[in-house]
Amino acid sequence: MADDIGPLVDRIVKSDADGVPADKEALLDQLEDLEFDQWALLLEALPIEERIAQWQLIPDDMKAEVLVEMRADARLSVINALPTDVLEQLFGHLTPEDLIELADSLPDHLIDLALRQMGQKQRQFFEHSNQFNENQIGRYADHNLLILPQNAKVYDALRLFRRDIPECTDALFLTDRAGRYAGTVPLKSTFGAPGHISLVELMDEHAKPLPAETSLEESADIQEKSDYVLLPIVDSKGMLIGRMTIKDGFQILRENHESENMARAGLSEDEDLFSPVWKSSMRRATWLGINLLTAFLASWAIGLFEATLQQVVALAVLMPIVASMGGIAGSQTLTLIIRGIALGQISKGNLTPLLLKELAVGGFNGVLWALAIGGIVAYWFSDLMIGVVIAVAIALNILAAAFSGVLIPVILDKMKIDPALSGSVILTTVTDVVGFVTFLGLGTLFLI
Amino acid sequence: MADDIGPLVDRIVKSDADGVPADKEALLDQLEDLEFDQWALLLEALPIEERIAQWQLIPDDMKAEVLVEMRADARLSVINALPTDVLEQLFGHLTPEDLIELADSLPDHLIDLALRQMGQKQRQFFEHSNQFNENQIGRYADHNLLILPQNAKVYDALRLFRRDIPECTDALFLTDRAGRYAGTVPLKSTFGAPGHISLVELMDEHAKPLPAETSLEESADIQEKSDYVLLPIVDSKGMLIGRMTIKDGFQILRENHESENMARAGLSEDEDLFSPVWKSSMRRATWLGINLLTAFLASWAIGLFEATLQQVVALAVLMPIVASMGGIAGSQTLTLIIRGIALGQISKGNLTPLLLKELAVGGFNGVLWALAIGGIVAYWFSDLMIGVVIAVAIALNILAAAFSGVLIPVILDKMKIDPALSGSVILTTVTDVVGFVTFLGLGTLFLI
């Protein structure tokens, strides 16, 4: 994406360490060309003290945008370091859309400050958006749209176009006198249409407005399938409150992807490269604690076989192999099923054939790896029986993994828990416990 | 996304099992409303025999599109089941863009067949796209663009608009006499411009064409930042060969996300819910094999301490806890660093402060969990010393995890290996081995 940030980071840190002013000149030249999103990436990539130093170099008219673009933790680190008068000046230039983006990470007095400096209409826009929560598209509606009354004619549209057409616009919207959404007119159908024709006649009957309460993810889906690059957003009374563009959809997709990746490791999406140690430690501790419970469960399972382990220490050496093969095989099934659930493809109707197929794949790989590992282990410990025991345990654990890999995400989904987040922890707990118990249990039966 | 597919799957499977024709009527009604992407999802959600049965119900004019939309494995399962004459008929209606999408999963004779049935111009489009590989945007260029010669005037543009403006279009492109890209004219600047004005005068000086060799991911980034919803694609000679729209960017993003998720579990992105057992098993076996090597490495590390384990069996019971806490802590650091690398934010300049910060977080959580686990274990085994040993081992392993979590992805990235794919396997191998060796090593020193 922004491969250009790395070398800049090096220069900044280096020139600060050496204090070489010649280097600084060249650096300043390069910084001048940065766009606001690159500035945001650059600041995030710097340790906190450096961030504040570089902040001064951002052109004043870009500062608000850079702040909006930054991730929450990094943004707060800058806001906390700025003196009140600088903040006051900064927040005098916020649009309602910017303020909404910043709202959750701003202290109340700063929000009030920004609101006081806004015009009445802007303030209304903010209040309106602020009714919706962070997962509703209405919160992020922007107000850059072409609107005409429903009795307008083609020449009204053409007059409007001549003034300005906002970015990402291929339709205009009609409203009734109360401001309720009345229809979508594709821009292209106005070309060549006689000036006196009513816009209502050019309306696209299939176009549907997006309810403001729609979730972000669903909005992006609807946007992707729409024939337009922007959608009108309406509130529950049918009032046209703003628009969503396909670029917003793009951003939603990227942010979802990022926060999913972070959440999978128990991290907050706000987490910043240089989040304060204390904050970052506390956040991560929770996930470590959850994991600890599952690890103790595995330990407890092993503890059941202490007497066996004392007699056959090879079992202790080999048991991680059984657990780990089950974990990997299970996560393969899990991943496939989670994708299916996300696409809405899994239901009662195909659950049985799916389970059978995964058990067949598990059976195949179970037997394959049971033979391979059993052979290696029998040779390693010069003991055929221990080879047989690990082979059977591995085959059983891979089968159990296939079974759990299908059922765990389906059950979680039924319970309205996102399987993409917790599925993997639960699955590996199952494969650990099943792996240890079958392996050590078989060992107890056949090796003592 | 498509929550509507699940109930349909149920109905199809159920009505087939019961053979109730009344149900079938209602089903057919519902199937009639499906869009081609929903058809693709539905077919993918069905076991292979059912797929073929339902395939017949797709309206003929949608079949090619449904095939293009399906994932490769599922698509092949349908193609393989269709008789030659049906395929011949189907491939008589492919556009060059469709054929490109299908090309990798079609046998050569079917590609030839489709090409023979195309017009000369279409065939040329295909040949042209086919020069580029699967990760180059040129391969997916579509040919739905507004092009005018560079000496055209505003009234030429208006005449063109009246004929048709393709979806996702907010600019037209000028070419020279040889067909080389000469410039981008935003649609909106032609409104209200006098008819005799040259389009060259309305050109956007900042607009840049997209080289056909650009990678898909980079193309999506460029598209996202562009002021337009479509970009002109040019080949190495500067010829305008097609366009990329922001919807293509959307799709690239979704597919990248999906294949990243799949690859993380060692799955191919083509993998289908009902891929043949044999194929699916063989693909997954590779990943299990790689994992087996790392599991044997861990076993070998444990094996070094066989004598100790024989004397203090509690070590065998507890060792998974040490390994697993390290693995989780390490994956948190790893995830943060991988995101930083993807955003281009990690470089020599911030590596040291980043390492220090992660070590500080690791130190904090290391001490916190060392105390907690040490306490629990000392109580569990009524042995203070084993509590001390596990506490120290956990603190050390979490620190090692922080260290590896930063360095492994950075080193992989330097070696041009994607850390998002292999980082996690390498990391857990390190935390397993370090965890087992420190815990069992300390046990050997202090518990015997």
Give residue-wise pLDDT tens across range B246-257: 999 999 999 999
The closest CB to that of B6, out of A45, A221, A344, belongs to: A344
Asked if A286 has any chain B CB less than 8 Å from its own CB, the reply is: no
pLDDT surpasses 80 at B25: no
Q: List, for residues B181-202, the tens digit of each pLDDT value.
A: 999 999 888 887 889 999 999 9
Among A321, A383, A413, the residue to mutate for chain B (most B Cβ within 10 A) = A321
Contact between A188 and B161 using a beta-carbon 8 Å cutoff = yes
pLDDT surpasses 90 at A41: yes
Confirm if B145 and B154 have CB atoms less than 8 A apart.
no
Query: Which run of H or of E encompasses B196?
Result: none
Q: pLDDT grade, residue A361 (50/70/90)?
A: very high
* Calpha distance A158→A147 (Å, rounded): 12
Q: pLDDT grade, residue B18 (50/70/90)?
A: low
pLDDT score recorded for residue A2: 43
**Max mean pLDDT range (A226-230, A358-362, B343-347):** A358-362
Residue in the block written with tokens 């111009």: B121
Between B404 and A31, the higher pLDDT residue: B404
Asked if B359 has any chain A CB less than 8 Å from its own CB, the reply is: no
Report B:296-335 residues touching A (Cβ under 8 A): 296, 298-299, 302-303, 306, 309-310, 313-314, 316-321, 323-325, 328-329, 331-332, 334-335
Asked if B9 has any chain A CB less than 8 Å from its own CB, the reply is: yes
Confirm if B130 and B100 have CB atoms less than 8 A apart.
yes
Amino acid at residue number A316: A
Sign of the Cα torsion A408, A410, A415, A416 reads positive
**Max mean pLDDT range (A117-126, B109-118, B133-142):** B133-142
Q: pLDDT grade, residue B211 (50/70/90)?
A: very high
Q: pLDDT grade, residue B16 (50/70/90)?
A: low
Report B:384-423 residues touching A (Cβ under 8 A): none
pLDDT surpasses 50 at A393: yes
Confirm if A361 and B285 have CB atoms less than 8 A apart.
no
Q: pLDDT grade, residue A95 (50/70/90)?
A: confident
Question: Could you give all domains of chain B from N- to C-terminal order, each with its CATH number?
Answer: 5-133 (1.25.60.10), 147-245 (3.10.580.10), 277-446 (1.10.357.20)
Q: Determine how many CB atoms are found less than 10 A away from the CB of residue B415.
A: 8
Which chain B residues are Cβ-neighbours of A302 within 8 angstroms?
A: 316-317, 320
Q: pLDDT grade, residue B334 (50/70/90)?
A: very high
Q: How many CB pairs under 8 A join A and B?
A: 342
Sheet containing A210-211: which strands, arranged edge to edge? A210-211, A230-234, A240-245
DSSP readout, B257-316? HHHHHHHHTT--TT--TT--HHHHHHHHHHHHHHHHHHHHHHHHHHHTTHHHHHH-THHH
Percent of chain A predicted with pLDDT > 90: 67
Q: pLDDT grade, residue B86 (50/70/90)?
A: confident
Confirm if A42 and A74 have CB atoms less than 8 A apart.
no
Report B:105-144 residues touching A (Cβ under 8 A): none
Report B:243-262 residues touching A (Cβ under 8 A): 246-247, 249-251, 253-254, 257-258, 261-262
pLDDT score recorded for residue A1: 41
* Calpha distance B18→B31 (Å, rounded): 19
Query: What are the φ and ψ backbone dihedral angles of B205, each rounded to 5 degrees?
Result: -65, -25
Which chain A residues are Cβ-neighbours of B155 within 8 angstroms?
A: none
Tokens (6 digits) for A143: 């107000």
Tokens (6 digits) for A213: 């309460």
Chain B, nearest residue to A312 by Cα = B310
Confirm if A364 and A394 have CB atoms less than 8 A apart.
no
Contact between B161 and A349 using a beta-carbon 8 Å cutoff = no
Query: Which run of H or of E encompasses B181?
Result: strand B181-186
pLDDT score recorded for residue A282: 93
Asked if A267 has any chain B CB less than 8 Å from its own CB, the reply is: yes
pLDDT surpasses 70 at B350: yes
Which chain B residues are Cβ-neighbours of A229 within 8 angstroms?
A: 168, 170, 229, 246
Which chain A residues are Cβ-neighbours of B321 within 8 angstroms?
A: 292, 295-296, 298-299
Task: Give the torsion through C-alpha atoms of B112, B117, B122, B127, to 10 deg.
Answer: 10
pLDDT score recorded for residue A218: 94
The closest CB to that of B284, out of A37, A41, A365, belongs to: A365
Find the distance separating the first CA and the last CA of chain A, reported in whole Å.
60
Out of A113-122, B36-45, B104-113, which region has the weakest mean confidence (pLDDT)? B104-113
Helix residue spans in B70-135 (DSSP H): 72-81, 84-90, 96-102, 108-116, 120-130
Find the largest Cα–Cα distance for chain A: 97
Distance from CA of B160 to the nearest CA of A (A): 10
* Calpha distance B427→B435 (Å, rounded): 12
Tell me the average pLDDT of chain B.
Answer: 91
What does the pLDDT average to over A206-223? 95
